[in-house]
């Protein structure tokens, strides 16, 4: 099915390159790192990583085009299992990804399991029918028995708190990325150790900024974790102030669903997850001592340092900012602030970020 889109993807890429090259506004590439939730999140509390592009938008769940004025960008995520399809990943606009809706006015104020079912089924029926012709299993809510993980890409803030790390890109980089995305294979290839959600996002970031996302071979035991993606992104952004690193926190929406858990790396999982800690203390206490040393030396870092909270209504300001000087950082005016005093949540380029 993915190859059937090749001709259209090529046309979209060529038109997109022209449109992006003609643009003057600074664009961004970013990663969402989401906290773990549900039963799987209890067993493996490493969370989830998605790729965010604010100037590239969704033409279909697997093809892309430049964004039009007023659009918010696209989010791409690789999942372990997108049954019944054989897709490896799919994309949604950022508002449906976070809140399950296409209009900010429709974001649920309070989320219940029935809200989750209704919102996700509506989006599947309207936009994903060709790829996912079956309805959402009620067991997909909060990690119970699942028939596929596609629901996690619609209304992600129903289930978990997320953090967004983003840096600037140039029109030329966006054009390169658009061509790469529209030629990207979408046959399932998920592997926990070598081709997980974090690897997928890292591939795109490293295409534009080589070696920006690096493995923590010691702290994550050779795999790439969502926490390490955020840490690498943060370190790279601090080392390159001209890219204007921004860090945002997207709170989990209020409701009856269980709150998500803190994001952890691999070594951290064994020293902070009670079921593993208690078991290893009994059967192999020396392993806990060794793992604690690894955590302290290579894995101890907190996601979301210096993050600014980003609520649904703030996305409109993010989508409409204009940069008069290409050397200036994006400025976000929060609609929640007093209209007579703008709430600047992204600093000018010459202002240093607080130390970590």
Q: Which of 138-142, 303-307, 328-332 has the lowest mean pLDDT?
A: 328-332
The DSSP letter of residue 35 is -
CA 180, CA 186: separation in Å to the nearest integer? 12
Q: Is pLDDT at 133 greater than 70 in this prediction?
A: yes
For residue 168, what are the β-bridge partners? 28
**C-beta separation of 265 from 220 below 8 A:** yes
Spans of all domains in the chain:
3-263+303-320, 264-302
pLDDT score recorded for residue 37: 86
Is pLDDT larger for residue 181 or for residue 147?
Answer: 181
Question: pLDDT grade, residue 294 (50/70/90)?
Answer: low
Question: pLDDT grade, residue 1 (50/70/90)?
Answer: very low
Residue 29, H or E segment? strand 27-34
Torsion of CA 117, 32, 314, 310, to 10 degrees: 100
Averaged over 301-320, what is the pLDDT? 85
Q: For strands 246-250 and 162-169, give the pairing.
A: antiparallel
Q: Which of 14-18, 176-180, 284-288 has the lowest mean pLDDT?
A: 14-18
Is pLDDT larger for residue 204 or for residue 268?
Answer: 204
Averaged over 100-113, what is the pLDDT? 96
**C-beta separation of 184 from 63 below 8 A:** no
In this structure, what token pair is assigned to residue 280?
């290893």
pLDDT score recorded for residue 38: 75
Highest mean pLDDT pick, 211-215, 245-249, 299-303: 245-249
Question: pLDDT grade, residue 75 (50/70/90)?
Answer: very high
Is pLDDT larger for residue 14 or for residue 52?
Answer: 52
Mean predicted lDDT score pLDDT of the chain: 77
Alpha-carbon distance values, 219 to 138, 144, 308 (Å): 36, 29, 27
- Return the number of other C-beta atoms located less than 10 Å from residue 214's C-beta: 15
Q: Is pLDDT at 142 greater than 70 in this prediction?
A: no
CA 215, CA 87: separation in Å to the nearest integer? 26
Q: Which of 185-189, 227-231, 308-312, 336-340 has the lowest mean pLDDT?
A: 336-340
The 3-class SS string of 212-278 reads: CCCCCCCCCCCCCCHHHHHHHHHHHHHHCHHHCCEEEEECCCCECCCCCCCCCCHHHHHHHCHHHHH
Q: Which residue has the tokens 């996601």?
A: 303
The 3-class SS string of 55-124 reads: CEEEEECCEEEECCCCCCCEEEEECCCCCCCCECEEEEEHHHHHHCCCCHHHCCCCECHHHHHHHHHHHH
């Amino acid at each position: 099915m993915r190859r059937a889109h090749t001709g259209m993807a090529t046309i979209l890429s060529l038109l997109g390159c022209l449109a992006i090259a003609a643009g003057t506004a600074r664009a961004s590439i970013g990663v969402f790192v989401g906290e773990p939730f549900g039963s799987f999140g209890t067993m493996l509390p490493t969370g989830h990583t998605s790729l965010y592009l604010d100037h590239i938008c969704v033409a279909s769940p697997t093809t892309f085009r430049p964004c039009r004025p007023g659009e918010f960008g696209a989010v791409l995520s690789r999942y372990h299992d997108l049954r019944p399809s054989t897709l490896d990943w799919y994309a949604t606009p950022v508002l449906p990804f976070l809140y399950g809706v296409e209009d900010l006015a429709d974001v649920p104020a309070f989320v219940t399991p029935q809200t989750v079912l209704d919102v996700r089924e509506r989006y599947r029926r309207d936009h994903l029918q060709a790829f996912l012709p079956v309805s959402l299993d009620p067991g997909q809510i909060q990690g119970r028995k699942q028939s596929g993980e596609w629901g996690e890409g619609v209304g992600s803030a129903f289930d978990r708190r997320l953090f967004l790390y983003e840096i600037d890109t140039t029109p030329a980089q966006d054009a390169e990325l658009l061509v790469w995305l529209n030629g990207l294979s979408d046959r399932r290839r998920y592997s926990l150790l070598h081709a997980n959600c974090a690897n997928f996002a890292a591939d795109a970031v490293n295409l534009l900024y080589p070696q920006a996302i690096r493995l923590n071979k010691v702290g994550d035991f050779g795999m790439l974790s969502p926490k390490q993606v955020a840490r690498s992104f943060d370190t790279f952004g601090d080392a390159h102030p001209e890219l204007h690193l921004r860090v945002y926190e997207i709170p989990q929406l209020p409701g009856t669903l269980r709150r998500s858990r803190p994001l952890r790396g691999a070594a951290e999982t064994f020293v902070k997850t009670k079921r593993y800690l208690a078991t290893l203390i009994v059967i192999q206490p020396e392993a806990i001592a060794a793992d604690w040393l690894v955590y302290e030396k290579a894995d101890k870092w907190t996601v979301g340092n210096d993050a600014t909270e980003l609520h649904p209504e703030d996305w409109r300001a993010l989508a409409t900012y204009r940069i008069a000087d290409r050397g200036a950082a994006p400025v976000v005016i929060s609609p929640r602030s007093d209209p007579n005093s703008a709430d600047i949540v992204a600093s000018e380029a010459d202002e240093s970020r607080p130390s970590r």
